[in-house]
Amino acid sequence: EEYSHVQGTRWHKSVISYSIGSYTRDLPRDTVASVIESALSVWARASGLTFVRSQTRNADIMVEFVTNSHGDMYPFDGPRGTLAHAFGPGSGVGGDTHFDDDEQWTAGDKGFNLLLVAAHEFGHALGLKHSTNPQSLMYPTYKSTRSANLLSREDVANINALY
Ligand SMILES: CNC(=O)[C@@H](NC(=O)[C@H](CC(C)C)CN(O)C=O)C(C)(C)C
Ligand SMILES: [Ca+2]
Ligand SMILES: [Zn+2]
Ligand SMILES: [Zn+2]
């Protein structure tokens, strides 16, 4: 799973903190914050986990918009190609979620939709692997057309099996 750098298998607490360490210039900061919150709430509803926003850099899930080489062993690759990656549950880098800021991030449908990508990444940050089912949010390829409710039955079953 080269896009979910596995740490542990799951979080062993029900309240998980997140912090937005850097922003993209493609969207207003408030929009980024509300999209991130929405993407986490999708998993909160299905897992019973609670996500609390922090302003410190030692939150469980550090969200960053970065380009190319950015301090971990998984440099991004410019426009298109890899859109984002996330580390599985654990201390330190565990849970951290990075978005390639060489992409055009959108809250609508021009460019890559941040909600769709963030929801996929947070699945990894919670311990989920990729799915071979194209309907699943955890499918490894970006698909702009997704049903209103982001999670497929498979995603709900998988997160329930984990938490
Ligand atoms: C448009 N580009 C793609 O579809 C690329 N896929 C991604 O960037 C994955 C994220 C999507 C599914 C939001 C990477 N991943 O799995 C992170 O956890 C490639 C399929 C080209 C690798
Ligand atoms: Ca890229
Ligand atoms: Zn992935
Ligand atoms: Zn990274």
Report, as residue numbers or ranges, the catalytic residues: 121
* Distance from the alpha carbon of residue 118 to the mean position of ligand 3, in angstroms: 10
- Is this prediction's pTM over 0.90? yes
Please report the ipTM that was assigned to this predicted complex: 0.99
Ligand 1 atom at minimum distance from 112 CA: 1
Q: pLDDT (tens digit, 9 = 90+) per residue, 15-50?
A: 999 999 999 999 999 999 999 999 999 999 999 999
* Distance from the alpha carbon of residue 16 to the mean position of ligand 1, in angstroms: 25
Q: pLDDT (tens digit, 9 = 90+) per residue, 53-97?
A: 999 999 999 999 999 999 999 999 999 999 999 999 999 999 999
- As a three-state string, the secondary structure of the chain is CCCEECCCCCCCCCEEEEEECCCCCCCCHHHHHHHHHHHHHHHHHHHCCEEEECCCCCCCEEEEEECCCCCCCCCCCCCCCCCEEEECCCCCCCCCEEEECCCCEECCCCCEEHHHHHHHHHHHHCCCCCCCCCCCCCCCCCCCCCCCCCCCHHHHHHHHHHC
Please tell me if the CB atom of residue 117 comes closer than 6 angstroms to any atom of ligand 1. Answer: yes
